[in-house]
Structure 1
Amino acid sequence: MLLRRVLRSDPTNEYLLYRPTGASIDSPLLVVVLGVSRHWQQQVATFIPACERLGVTLLSPSMGGAVRASYRSIGRQENRADELLHDCLREVSLHTGIDATRFRLFGHSSGAQFAHRYLMAHPHRVASAVIACARWYTFPDTARKFPFGIRPTKRLPDLSFNPEQYLRVRITLLDGSLDTEEEVFRHSDQISALQGKHRLERARRWVAAMRAQAQAHAMPSMIDLIEIEGVGHHFGPLCREGRLVQRVFWSLFGATVDEESAITQRQ
């Protein structure tokens, strides 16, 4: 059963928790962060069959309350989305006994914006990550302030980025080949010129920038981009036609989960 819980430390926030049948304290943990949607619980539920088959515990924070407006960029000093996630992780660890200090991470849409920034700021917490269809990215650019670069900002004075740490995290970017709608936002011309006019172009440029930084640090590239043919940005088609859940579990757990519950482990 997918449980919906109120966070004890912040009753304005909830999280979803799924524990597979017979799960032990050694159950691997998957954190799923999605965009703002009234279908949040329904979307998270699409991961349950695979979690059950592989024995994976799932946590999905609502990112509501005071962090809702700014969680994409980790929040503000007084309302930090990363600290909210840490509160959820602590509560789940107390409730289940599992070690929640390190986990696999998946983010889609606004959740992908949070997820890639979180792993860059807290790489020691993330074993591997899948980032799907983010609108904007934090580029590994020390000349630009966060959230579009990694230079420190007064808004989050204790947030720092260490390339030699975050470049070690295995990252898979997923985006639909049709995710090419050009978006116009107020004050976005300059950032669009740097990152690209649409999500797919921005994903390509971010991957190229991360690979270039890895090369500059004499480190192997740990990032891949998969362009899923025939789909765009929306969660439903990504799952139905783009096999999103199967791609996530292959990337994060090295396992293929088919419709008949068969499991193939990557060697």
Structure 2
Amino acid sequence: MIRVADLPATHPGRRLLTKRTPFFVAPSEPRCSYCVYVPTGWTPETRLSVVVAVHGTGRNVGELREGFIPFAQRHNVIVVTPLFPVGIGDPDDVHNYKFMDARGIRFDLVLLDILEQVRLRWNADVDPVLLCGHSGGGQFAHRFLYLHPDRVAAVAVSAPGSVTLLDDSLAWPEGIGDTRQRFAITVDLEAVARVPVLLVVGGDDDGRADLAAMGHPGHSRPERLDRLAESLNLQGIAVKKVVVPGVGHSAAGTRPQIVDFFTNLLADNA
């Protein structure tokens, strides 16, 4: 694999591998892929931090990456946006990645392999990363936190349709009671508690009808976020919860709160 630093400054490959990159195959799972935004302030000698933004069910990865470009430019960070496609092993499976494993694929490990490639190609600091996701991406983000708290500096969870509680009396994905058998990982609550968490949802994002149609009746998205917040708080985890007035189920609508959350963390750690 060519590192960007291996290319002369005038090589056309530099243009391909900086700013908006093409999609790359995920190294351990070629049915998945990722693209990157590398800010114009990048140099081979700089070791930039990384933001991972995970898509929702609609897989609108292009819009997702574009939405974080101003943040990347302002703070000189690299944006990584994985693509976990619909239909792996089942042409109608839109949920696969949200629960970390499906049909023999460990999507958390796919992301870790992607980050290792990002580290090598761009000399990036991927340990830990800032992680965020909206809707299905929010499901992925908080579950990834449970399994790999040492790999994330902060997590922003936006409007998930289902949540996993830190309850070892419930099996995955409702709780964490069987993660040792399922993932060979026991959730380290002390490590999870060290990670700042933002929970955000639009004030108009009820979602009750959609969730009921998908077989999950009984709770709106704000109610599900409240359940997650309560579960995290019971374990002493610092949670910031934000409800954005006038916003429905919109990644763009909750992104400003995520950007502010990450901006403040970067300023605190400067």
Same fold (TM over 0.5): yes
Give the match for residue 231 of structure 1. Answer: 247
Q: Does 1:53 align with 2:100?
A: no
Give the match for residue 16 of structure 1. Answer: 35
Shift of 1:40: 2.0
The number of residues matched between the two structures is 241
Shift of 1:39: 3.0
Aligned-partner residue type, residue 42 of structure 1: E
TM-score (normalizing by structure 2): 0.81
DSSP-derived class of the 1:4 partner: coil
Aligned-partner residue type, residue 202 of structure 1: R
Give the one of 124, 140, 144 matched to 1:114: 140
Shift of 1:160: 2.4
For 1:151 and 1:106, the matched residues in 2 are separated by: 24
Q: How does 1:164-175 map to 2 (within 5 A)?
A: 164-175=190-201
Identity of aligned residues (%): 26
Partners of 1:137 and 1:148 within 8 A in 2: yes
Q: Does 1:2 align with 2:20?
A: yes
Which runs of 5 or more residues in structure 2 are unaligned? 1-18
Partners of 1:6 and 1:14 within 8 A in 2: yes
Q: Does 1:210 align with 2:232?
A: yes
Aligned-partner residue type, residue 49 of structure 1: P
CA RMSD of aligned residues (A): 2.3
Give the one of 67, 74, 84 matched to 2:100: 74
Give the match for residue 246 of structure 1. Answer: 256
For 1:207 and 1:38, the matched residues in 2 are separated by: 26
DSSP-derived class of the 1:45 partner: helix
| Alpha-carbon spacing, 1:250–1:188, altered in 2? closer, same or farther (3 Å) | closer
Q: Which moved more, 1:201-210 or 1:70-79?
A: 70-79
Give the match for residue 132 of structure 1. Answer: 158
TM-score (normalizing by structure 1): 0.82
Aligned-partner residue type, residue 107 of structure 1: G
